[in-house]
Structure 1
Amino acid sequence: MIMRKNNILIFLILFSIITFIFLSNCKYKPTEKFIEKKSEETAKEVTDKTNNKKETEDEEDYMITESKYFELPNKIIIYNEGEQTIIEKDTKSYNKIIYTTDKRFERGRCLIEEIIPEEMIEDIKNNKIAIEFIYTEEIQTNYACEEFGWKKIYTKILFPLPDFRAIFGDEEEYQAGPWYISIQPESDYLISIIEEEIK
């Protein structure tokens, strides 16, 4: 009877020792890896959401719904030394060009009006870098420079880059003035958009 109790006791001790050894060698690596992998996925999701949010915020930073200097064009034509591309309304590049051009007018000042010869317009479009706002109907904008006022009627506005002129055009001719718009740093930024669009 004592012998049998001793055997049971020895068996229980051995079983406890083996169980302890087995459990102490088990480090739960799969769980740790799962947690680590899940953490990486969560971090990536947060980063992606942050980047998407930042891109959306960046795009929203360039969104304007109106300008006091010009009507928003129906489309924009960009020229790069003979090549040209149309930028459609409500695209990222369109919004950036509109926003930046509006800022150029904000920093502008008065300029005497001048008729721009057709040869010069062709030279700008074929040999230089420029942006042209195109309208499907005639637009009228009133400009005030110091004590003078000008009424501009136009169907397009050409912006050579880098240049201080906003050249308003209709079906007959182009005229620069009455506004002298900012050249830098906006021109470099606009040129970079054009070069990105026309590669």
Structure 2
Amino acid sequence: MRLETPPPTEPVPDAAEVVRRTAVADALLVAETAEAAAGAEGVGGDVADALGRVAAATTAQAEQLGGEYDSGLDDIVADRSASSPSATAPERTPAAVLTSLVDAATRTRAAANQAQPGPLARLLASISAAQTRDAWTLARLTRGEAPELPPPRSRSPPTRTPSRPGTSPRPPRRRPARRTRRWCPAASPPRT
């Protein structure tokens, strides 16, 4: 190794990777909060079962998204996060799980709408729908505020614009083909 070589750095993520990492972080935060809330004192019955299902579902969603990114440079590059102030631990209640679940579903839905059409966009949309459904279930069980659903997309057919002013936007009518009589040697009388 040469001394003038700079230390290795992590690659700069593109837009799709940033979206993916954000969705993974949201799902893992919800899973961690739900696991802690399910085991909290005073939470039992259907609410604890729902929190357990939310934790399992969001953990599976994070795995479907590819999990947390590990560049392998942790051993080489000094960990700078130790010098930054640590965040306070989030509240571990069913209401906190509901809030983080609604926030995660909203961000994931927005990311799915902005992503390029393809497998990642479909996966993000599916995860957002599942998180919204889980938030509705949890809100019903805890008597919390249910998440607001996005407005439905209208699926109107595309309109054709006329190429010239005064022309009709509908396609031109096709004229029926003229029938022509073909000559068939077996059907015609022999020539003499």
TM range (shorter): under 0.3
- Which of the two has higher C-alpha Rg? 1
| Structure (1 or 2) with the greater strand fraction | 1
